[in-house]
Every structure is written in structure tokens, then in C-alpha cells.
Structure 1
């Protein structure tokens, strides 16, 4: 049976490690902003909705996704850290059965990987989450079941769901052949690696 899964793209942070000169999510790879690459992957997947949580440089992020069928949700409290953006995204997911928690600075994750996560989620109705792993190493995005939404919404500060996913029961690790689940753009050197690959 098909599950209603929302893709939630977290794009609210300042990207301080990249440097203050530019918003890393707007830097281009292959002629498109990083954030647009991430959104395009979500839209090409079986996710029912794509929600983009904005914060820092809100209007620039929205402009980078002009013309795409995404739902924007602004997090005015983005400076408090990642947890506040998780709450905004999950609140926007409404009655979804699950949520793909995507990072706006990971342009290498393929739509087929997202679909594999959704398929694994549909096949295991008792799972709390599906986490992708490349050669044994866990990466992003994780697909959270509705059963975890409340616990994730209680997180505070600059904390993602990683620790929760390590301790929660029913978390399934899904092997994938996609190194993109481990690669984010935190620094200009990371960007150079993407452009060369």
C-alpha cells in the first residue's frame, strides 16, 4: 500500500562554515543552485509533497526555487538551531505517514535513493524510521515515521534527529549505492569536490 510521505528540505541555516560571503545553498553546481538540485531530486521522487523550510536569506532561497511545485514554510526562529526547523517542517507535513528529512546542502542524493527509502518504509509498517547507509556508514536523508514526529518536535537547539535515531527502537538501516547520502557542502572545498565529480 502506498504511503503518504512528505519531503522536508531544511534550508534555514546560515551556513557559517562556508563563509559569510555567500549563501552556500545558492552557489551553483551544474548551472543550478545547490538548493534547487535538492528540491529537484525530491520532486522527481515518489514523495507526495515537498516542503522547504526557510530562514536565513529567505527571499533568496524562495527565488532560487521559482517555478517549482514546493510549499514554503518560514522559520523565524532559525537562529536557535536545526531543531526549530525540524518542528516547522513536521508541523507542515500535516497528516503524512512519514517525512523524508532532507538537508538543503546535499545535492548528490538521487531520486532513486529517495524512492528506495519510501519503498522500504512502505514494506515495514512497524518501523520507526529508515536510514540510508553507504558501505556501512549512515547518512541522510532519514525517513521518519509519524510515530517519531512528537519526539523529534521536542528536540532543542542545534540538534538534529541523529542521536534519537541511534537510540530509538524500530530504526531500519537500508544499504544504498549512493555516496551522495554522505556528502554535504559545508565549505568551498566541498563544493570543488562536487564540481569535479
Structure 2
């Protein structure tokens, strides 16, 4: 059976300052003894992507050390303070000339493998633009075909990532579990979701 993911890249955006967490950095905080960013990357590695790129920014050395055992490529965004799009652009610039790429967030560790596998039922090509939704509410991951790479590289920095593409172009949606909306941004988020098990043993 053909692997629909082999010609795709996966970008894991892990560059933010985590300012809403206070002293703790959300990606370094642990759930069940494992840091959030490792939980995310471990699930990404369950999918046979052509390549996995982790975009770092704040606390880059610590994140790289945690992920050293995994066969990922690191790209550092020195301008991570300019918003999510600056990290997206650095990740896109590093991708190979392939069919397209997924965008995953480093602070969404729940049911990620399941959410990624759901895309296997969709038609994945250079013109694909597919957004995860939960009863119509936008979530992650999203799939962006390589036809849009030049536009992303030319766009201004903003905190909205690739959402402007979905405002400008026709796109498909993929219904996902509620975990597609669960960001771990604040201590309250960790209190709400931290007792859940993001990994299946």
C-alpha cells in the first residue's frame, strides 16, 4: 500500500516564548514524566513522513537536548518574537521541494498521531489546503500544498500562522477530535488537561 505521507514534510513549531505560563516553559513542562515537546515529536515520528522539521526559538538548547534521540532536523528562528508566522516561514524555507507540509503545534500533545493519520483518507497533492476542524472551529494540524510556499515566504509576520491562506483560497476541512483545539498555553490549561494521557502505552 502506498504511503501517502512519504512525500510530505511535517513542521513542528516550537519557538514561542511561553509568556503566559510565567516561569515555566510549556514545552518543557512534563506530563506523566515526559516533556510536552517530546510527547508531540514522539507522535509525529509514528507517521512515516519524508522529513520532520522542528522550528526552535526560545529555550532552543533545552528543546534540542530533549529531542536529540529523534531523527528530526532543527531550524532555529532567531526572530521568534515576531509571531508564529516567522517560525512558519523558517520551517517552510527548510522543506524539500515536495508535495507539501503539515503544520503541527508544539503545545498540542493530545491524540496527535490520530489527528495526523486521519489525513490519509484525503487527496494530498501540491494544491492541497486542508484544515482540521472541530464542529466548524479551526484547529491543528493543517496541511498546506507546496503551491503556497512562495506566498508564505513572502508574507508579513503575524501571530496567525497560515490562517490567511484559508481566508484567501478554497480549502477542505477534516473533522477531528476535540484535542485539535487543546493548546497548553497557561497553568490553567495544564490543570485542565494535564491529568489526561497523551500517549498510548
Separation in structure 2 between the aligned mates of residue 121 and residue 51 of structure 1, nearest angstrom = 23
Separation in structure 1 between the aligned mates of residue 117 and residue 162 of structure 2, nearest angstrom = 21
**Deviation for aligned residue 1:164:** 2.0
SS at match of 1:143: strand
- The aligned runs of 1:44-55 (5 Å cut-off) are 44-55=46-57
Moved more, 68-77 or 1-10: 1-10
**Deviation for aligned residue 1:33:** 0.6
Separation in structure 2 between the aligned mates of residue 193 and residue 136 of structure 1, nearest angstrom = 23
Structure 1 counterpart of 2:84 = 82
Structure 2 counterpart of 1:18 = 21
Count of equivalent residues: 192
Asked whether the equivalents of residues 127 and 146 of structure 2 are also in contact (C-alpha less than 8 Å), the reply is: no
**Deviation for aligned residue 1:32:** 0.8
Structure 2 counterpart of 1:148 = 148
Structure 2 counterpart of 1:32 = 34
Structure 1 counterpart of 2:164 = 163
Structure 2 counterpart of 1:174 = 174
Asked whether the equivalents of residues 128 and 168 of structure 1 are also in contact (C-alpha less than 8 Å), the reply is: no
Separation in structure 2 between the aligned mates of residue 110 and residue 186 of structure 1, nearest angstrom = 17
Q: More helix by proportion, 1 or 2?
A: 1
Would the alpha carbon gap of residues 119 and 153 (structure 1) be closer, same or farther in structure 2, given more than 3 Å must change?
Answer: farther
Superimposed CA distance per residue, residues 54-89 of structure 1 (whole angstroms, 9 cap, x where no aligned partner) = 111110111121211111111112122222211110
**Deviation for aligned residue 1:10:** 0.6
**Deviation for aligned residue 1:47:** 2.0
- The aligned runs of 1:130-145 (5 Å cut-off) are 130-145=130-145
Moved more, 81-90 or 159-168: 159-168
- The aligned runs of 1:105-144 (5 Å cut-off) are 105-122=107-124, 125=125, 127-144=127-144
TM-score scaled by structure 1? 0.90
- Where structure 2 has 5 or more consecutive residues not aligned to the other structure, the ranges are 197-201
Structure 1 counterpart of 2:71 = 69
Separation in structure 1 between the aligned mates of residue 30 and residue 165 of structure 2, nearest angstrom = 33
Q: 4+ residue runs of structure 1 moved beyond 3 angstroms? A: 125-128
TM-score scaled by structure 2? 0.88
Moved more, 89-98 or 157-166: 157-166
Separation in structure 2 between the aligned mates of residue 106 and residue 157 of structure 1, nearest angstrom = 22
**Deviation for aligned residue 1:41:** 1.2
The CA RMSD over aligned residues, in Å, is: 1.7
Structure 1 counterpart of 2:8 = 5
Moved more, 99-108 or 42-51: 42-51
